[in-house]
Amino acid sequence: MSYYETIYECAADNFGLITSAKARALGVPNIELVKLSHRGRLIRVGHGVYRIDHYIPTPLDKYAEAVTLTGESAYIFGESVLAMHGLAFVNPAAILVATTKRIRKDLPRYIKPLYRTEKDHVTHYEGIPSQNIVSAILSCRESIMTERLEHAADEARKQGLITQKETECVKEALRNGRQDSK
Q: List residues bridging with 26 in a β-sheet.
A: none
Single pTM value for the model: 0.88
What are the extents of the domains in the chain? 3-52, 61-176
Model confidence band, residue 180 (pLDDT cutoffs 50, 70, 90): very low
For residue 8, what pLDDT is reported? 94
Q: How confident is the model at residue 31 (pLDDT cuts 50, 70, 90)?
A: very high
Q: Are 139 and 85 in contact (CB under 8 A)?
A: no
Which CATH class name applies to 3-52? mainly alpha
What is the DSSP code string of the chain? Answer: --HHHHHHHHHTTTTTEEEHHHHHHTT--HHHHHHHHHTTSEEEEETTEEEETT----TTHHHHHHHHHH-TT-EE-THHHHHHTT-TT---SSEEEEESS---S---TTEEEEE--SPP-EEEETTEEEE-HHHHHHHTTTTS-HHHHHHHHHHHHHTTSS-HHHHHHHHHHHHHT-----
Q: How far apart are CA 140 and CA 143, in angstroms?
A: 5
pLDDT digits 0-9 by tens, 157-168 = 999 999 999 999
42-92 confidence digits (pLDDT tens)? 999 999 999 999 888 999 999 999 999 999 889 999 999 999 999 988 888
Q: Residue 104 — φ and ψ, nearest 5°?
A: -115, -10
Asked if the model's pLDDT at residue 7 lies above 60, the reply is: yes
Beta-carbon count within 10 A of 5 CB: 8
